[in-house]
Chain A
Amino acid sequence: MIADITQNSVEAGASHVTLECIQFPDEFDVTVSDNGSGMSRETLMKAEDPFYTDGKKHPNRKVGLGIPFLIQTAEETDGSWDIASEPGKGTTVAMKFNLANIDTPPVGNLPDLFLELMTLPGDYDMDIHRTDKAAGLDYRLNRNELKDVLGGELESAASQILLKKFIESQEA
C-alpha cells in the first residue's frame, strides 16, 4: 500500500518525493509528499472511487485501486488517512495505522520497500526517513546521494545488491 501511494507520486511527475515512516509500538504513521502534478478537489474526490482512473497508465482499464485500498484498510482497522493536494503543486498523503488492531496488515519488510521505491523507473529525488524508537532506529536515505555514490545509476544488479546491503545495514 505504501509502495502504491509512493509510486503514484513518482508517476505524477514529481521531481522530489518524501516518505516518512514513523513507527511506535502500537502505531505506524506514514506520510508521502511530492511536488508532482497534484489533483483538483473534484479529481481527488473521484480518486477515492475504485471505479475511477484517469486512464493514462492503463488506457483500457476501468479501475484505480491505490487510494481506495488505503481508505478501505484504514477504515477497517481503526486507522486514519488524509490527502491534501493542489494542482501544479503536489500531493501529501498521510496515513496512520493502528498496529494493535488485529486486522491491520503487517508493516512488512521496510528495507525491501525502500529498495523498491528507490529503483522505480524515472528521474526523481527521494528522501526517506524511518524511525522506530522501540527498535532504536532513526535513519534517512536520499536517492540522489546514493545514486551518486553508486556511480550514477541504480539499474544494474551491482548497484542494487550494494544498495540493498546498505539499507539493511541501517537497520542494525
Chain B
Amino acid sequence: MTLEELRKLRNQMKTEVEKRETAGKTIQVIVGMGTCGIASGAKETFNTFLKLIDEKGLADRVMLRQTGCMGLCAHEPTVEVIAPDMPRVIYGDVKADVAKEIVEQHIIGKKLLDNLIIDKPAADIMAKK
C-alpha cells in the first residue's frame, strides 16, 4: 500500500466520522498495554477489538486508546469502556472472547457485562490526594 492509497481509503471513511464526533456519540475503548497487560495478551485483545470494530462497521464511532498499567495486573488484560449515557467501567481478564462480548453487548447492546467489571484502578496507582 502507498501513502496515496492510504489517503484515499481514509477519505472514504472521513466524512462519516466527523458527523458522529460532533454529535457526541463517540465510544472510547481503552486497553491497558503495560508490560503486565501485554504479557497477558493485551495485544491480541487490542487486535480483536480492531478487527471486530471493523467487521461490525463501528469504526466511525469508536476511539481505541491504549494506556499503561492500571495497577490491576492480576486481572490483565484490562479494558476501560466509556460509552455515552453509560457508566464508565473497567473490565478485567479481557481475552479475545471477552472482547467480542464487550463489542456485542456493551458497545452494540448498551448492556454492562456485570460479572467482568472490576471497578476502578488500584489505590497505589492513583495520584496522591
Q: Which residues of A come within 8 Å of B, CB atoms?
A: 3-4, 7, 57-61, 65, 69, 109, 112, 116, 119-121, 145-146, 149-151, 155-162, 164-166, 169-170
A-B contact pairs, 16 of them (CB 8 A): A58-B124, A59-B127, A59-B128, A60-B124, A65-B35, A116-B43, A119-B64, A119-B65, A146-B6, A149-B6, A149-B7, A150-B10, A151-B10, A156-B17, A160-B64, A166-B6
A4 to B62, CA, bound (A): 26
Q: Which residues of B come within 8 Å of A, CB atoms?
A: 1, 3, 6-7, 9-11, 13-14, 17, 29, 33, 35, 38, 43, 46-47, 49-50, 53-54, 58-60, 62-68, 71, 123-128
Of A151, A155, A170, the contact of B65 (CB 8 Å cutoff) = A155
Contacts of A164 in B (CB 8 A): 47, 50
A119 to B15, CA, bound (A): 22
> Most A CB atoms within 10 A — which of B29, B62, B123?
B62
A166 to B1, CA, bound (A): 6
Give the distance to chain A from B30, nearest Cβ to Cβ, in Å. 10
A144 to B49, CA, bound (A): 24
Nearest CB in chain B to that of A62: its residue: B124
A58 to B10, CA, bound (A): 37
> Known contacts A61-B124, A112-B47; is A151 also within 8 Å of B64 by CB?
no
Since A121-B66, A156-B17, A160-B50 are in contact, a sample of 18 more A-B pairs with Cβ atoms closer than 8 Å, ordered by chain A residue number, is: A4-B35, A59-B127, A116-B46, A119-B64, A119-B66, A121-B65, A146-B3, A149-B6, A149-B10, A150-B10, A151-B10, A156-B63, A157-B49, A157-B58, A158-B60, A161-B54, A162-B9, A164-B47
Does A155 lie within 8 Å of B64, measured CB to CB?
yes
> Known contacts A60-B124, A149-B6, A158-B59; is A165 also within 8 Å of B1 by CB?
yes
A165 to B3, CA, bound (A): 12
Nearest CB in chain B to that of A55: its residue: B128
Contacts of B35 in A (CB 8 A): 4, 65, 69
Does A109 lie within 8 Å of B43, measured CB to CB?
yes
Contacts of B126 in A (CB 8 A): 60
A151 to B65, CA, bound (A): 17
Of B3, B11, B62, B125, the contact of A145 (CB 8 Å cutoff) = B3
Give the distance to chain A from B16, nearest Cβ to Cβ, in Å. 8
Give the distance to chain B from A25, nearest Cβ to Cβ, in Å. 25
Contacts of B43 in A (CB 8 A): 109, 112, 116
Contacts of A59 in B (CB 8 A): 127-128
Does B128 lie within 8 Å of A60, measured CB to CB?
yes
Does A158 lie within 8 Å of B17, measured CB to CB?
yes
